[in-house]
Amino acid sequence: MSEPTAPSVPPTPPVPLSALLAREDLGLRQIAGPTAPDTVIHWVHTSEMADPYPYLLGGELLLTAGVHVPEAAGADGGAPCSGDYFEDYVSRIVAAGGAALGFGLAPVHDTVPRALVAACEAYGLPLLEVPPRTTFSGVARAVWQLMAQARLAELRRVTEAQQSLAAAASRPDPVPSVLRQLAQRLAAHALLYAPDGTAIASAGRAPVPGTQEALRKLTAVVRPDTGPENTPRDAPASATDSLGDTQLAAYALGGSSGFVLGVATRRREPADHTIASVAAVLLSLLTGEHQSGAGAARSSALVRLLLGAAPAEVAGLLGSGGRWLVVHARPENGIPDPVGAAALGAALGSPLIDLGRDVVRVLVPAGREPAAQPGWTLGVGAPAEPDGWPSADAQAARALARARATRAPLVRHGARPGLSELVPRPDAEEHARALLAPLAAGPALTETLRTWLSLHGSWDRTAVALDVHRNTVRQRITRCAALLDTDLDDPDVRMELWFALRHH
């Protein structure tokens, strides 16, 4: 059987051995082996096998009552052969990556064999004495409880860090703010490296001598353009190293952009990588525009709009052709936040994002057909030139309402020509104004009628689409029927009203 190269530990927070020893209800006592504070347990295993190696994965607290101990070894381990037996036994536990050994005093042994104590001391394996009143299942349950507490604390730490990093990214100075928040959360020194390897921003406590140089070298591992003779090469998204007691990590930002985040900490906690990865995603979004200068062009377009230019005059600065799609998106759970909105924009291939109170709007080049996004409900307007953006915005809003009402992940505004195209547009618009004139004073009535007809007269789905109570929908539709003096159950009436609403 081949020896394992490293313990295979589960993705759960380990339990410090000291925390288990501190449980007064267990009454455990360490009687041999190192008392290092960094000794941790990943799980508990009970075995009475003379050779437990094949049954260990590494990181266990192995519990035994000594049933496997040969009678020749003696109850107190005083027989001549006992030293060899326990030395072999302990050496196999250590070879398998066992973290500690717990020896139960009941029902087989009254004391821990002296030879076992000596072997654990010689091999550096912590040995715990388990009193008769403490069951092995009680020890296992205590470990699981400590793991659950550690996991809850880890999740809370990650959640709080995500929220603070997202808030930092929305500040006027987002890049320095994110670095400062990251350094504070990890008690670290954080640096942002430009594509040429220069540190352009930093935050946190002063690093130990040599840290910045070691980090700079580590960034070359994840930077995609630093292969031999600057030839393109694949690079990992992150890399780690150490410098004495300092833990180093580097994270590539934005794929091939060349920006790299470097982090130096005194010790590496389980959640540190997750928190640093969140910061890396945010910094990728914040630094991505610096690479191509597209951010400056968009800023120029915004300034010109504010100064009175028409959308058609500045559309060319946005870096795409003349036709665009307006996308309305709403998260399936909760309200949109800056991080989620930015991630949605990246998934749709556009940085042109408007974060509203409950809806995110994205302006997407018409050549990039939006696809459904996990966790979002999308409505897409028809492709439009800049002067048609307001109309496309309204179309996307209605498509989103229909998507939510029908529980579809994505609904596109129908742009297929039909019978309505046979009527000249001015005539159609004049007919629509005349037919819908009784509703002119109530925009809510018009929108309710439009949504209700589009959803085939469903009260419940219309209520969902409009975020109102179904009784409100009934009252509005009844009011529409009275003002229009018509029977809304008549399919011919519905068809004519739908025709008019499309041109209204």
Of the listed ranges 67-81, 268-282, 307-321, 423-437, the one predicted with least confidence = 67-81
> What pLDDT, on the 0 to 100 scale, is given for residue 291?
47
Architecture of 15-145 per CATH?
A: 3-Layer(aba) Sandwich (3.40)
Top-level class of domain 170-292: alpha beta
Whether 492 shows a pLDDT value over 60: the answer reads: yes
Highest mean pLDDT among 306-315, 398-407, 476-485: 476-485
Q: Where are the beta strands (DSSP E) in 124-209?
A: 127-130, 188-193, 199-204
Does residue 355 come out as left (phi exceeding 0), alpha (psi in the -120 to 50 range) or beta?
beta
Hey, what are 10's tokens?
Answer: 């589960």
For strands 15-16 and 40-41, give the pairing.
antiparallel
Give the helix/strand (H/E) hosting 498: helix 491-502
Compute the half-sphere exposure of residue 291: CA atoms within 13 Å on the CB side of its CA: 17
**107 prior amide bond cis, ω within 30:** yes
Q: Residues 376-400: what's their mean pLDDT?
A: 89
Instruction: Count the neighbouring beta carbons within 10 Å of the beta carbon of residue 395.
Output: 23
Report the distance separating Cα 54 and Cα 47, nearest Å: 11
Which amino acid would we find at residue 34? P
Q: How confident is the model at residue 233 (pLDDT cuts 50, 70, 90)?
A: very low
CA–CA distance, 141 with 138 (Å, rounded to integer): 5
Distance from C-alpha of 337 to C-alpha of 28, rounded to nearest angstrom = 48
Backbone angles phi, psi at 222, to 5 degrees: -100, -10
For the ranges 22-26, 99-103, 191-195, the lowest mean pLDDT is seen at 191-195
Here the tokens at position 369 are 């057909």
What is the model's pLDDT at position 7? 44
Tell me which of 13-27, 120-134, 222-236, 314-328 is least confident. Answer: 222-236
Torsion over CA: 445, 451, 457, 459 (sign): negative
What is the helix (H) or strand (E) element at residue 239, kind and residue range? strand 238-243
What is the pLDDT, as a whole number, of residue 66?
92
Q: Give the model's confidence band at 141: pLDDT under 50 very low, under 70 low, under 90 confident, else very high.
A: very high
Using 50, 70 and 90 to split pLDDT, how confident is the model at 374?
confident
Q: Are strands 246-252 and 238-243 parallel, antiparallel or unpaired?
A: antiparallel
Q: What is the pLDDT of residue 9?
A: 44
Q: Give the relative orientation of helices 174-186 and 272-292 as an angle to the nearest 10 degrees.
A: 160
Q: What is the pLDDT of residue 315?
A: 74
What's the pTM? Answer: 0.47
CB-based contacts of 467-476 (< 8 A; 24+ apart in sequence) = 473/448, 476/444, 476/445, 476/448, 476/449
Give the model's pLDDT for residue 18: 93
**The pLDDT value given to residue 207:** 76
With a cut of 90, say whether residue 273 has pLDDT above it.
Answer: no
Amino acid letter for position 158: V
Do the domains spanning 15-145 and 420-502 agree at the CATH topology level?
no
Residue 419's pLDDT band (cuts 50, 70, 90): low
Q: Where are the domains of the chain?
A: 15-145, 170-292, 320-412, 420-502
Question: Which residues is 129 bridged to in the sheet?
Answer: 29, 103
SS3 string of 395-452? Answer: HHHHHHHHHHHHCCCEEECCCCCCHHHHCCHHHHHHHHHHHCHHHCCCHHHHHHHHHH
Please give the mean pLDDT across all residues of the chain: 83
Q: What is the pLDDT of residue 333?
A: 78
The CATH superfamily label for domain 420-502 reads PucR C-terminal helix-turn-helix domain (1.10.10.2840)
> What is the per-residue pLDDT for 290?
47
**What value does the mean pLDDT take over residues 152-172?**
84
